[in-house]
Amino acid sequence: MSISDEIQENLKKRRSINQDDDFGLERSWEELTNILSKNEDETIKYLMNCSKDDVLLISSVFDYVSENLQSKKFISCLRELDKKYPDLKLTSFIDDAEDYIKDN
């Protein structure tokens, strides 16, 4: 299964989780973090082509993925998404994600 397929499957499950189900949400975020941390290039490719709704859901794990990838290229991708979807107000999430990169 491709990373794109795995992300889509995770987000589909995520959308069905009740907002009050903290354990379910946490498990979904952990799984999504693992998927997005597998391959930086595929993750960036996915993010640059995904829907606004997907970006919003994925933004909840930007910091964890950033910590795993340790990549300025990933942060640059997030900055591009912030420009593409300014109404999502992603800047603070991206700033937090950038703080997870060592020797920043």
pLDDT (0 to 100) of residue 1: 85
Name the nearest CA neighbour of 29 among 47, 42, 11: 11
Domains identified in the chain, total number = 1
**Given CA atoms 90, 92, 93, 97 in this order, what sign does their dihedral have?**
positive
CB contact at 8 A, 36 and 29: no
Q: Domain span at residue 89?
A: 3-100
Crossing angle of helices 22-36 and 3-16, in 10° steps, is 170
Instruction: Return d(Cα 98, Cα 31) in angstroms, integer.
Output: 21
Q: What is the pLDDT of residues 22-63, one digit of tens each?
A: 999 999 999 999 999 999 999 999 999 999 999 999 999 999
Tell me the pLDDT tens digit for each residue of 55-102.
Answer: 999 999 999 999 999 999 999 999 999 999 999 999 999 999 999 998
pLDDT for 104 beyond 60: no
- Count of beta carbons in the 10 Å neighbourhood of residue 27: 14
Confidence at residue 4, expressed as pLDDT on a 0 to 100 scale: 93
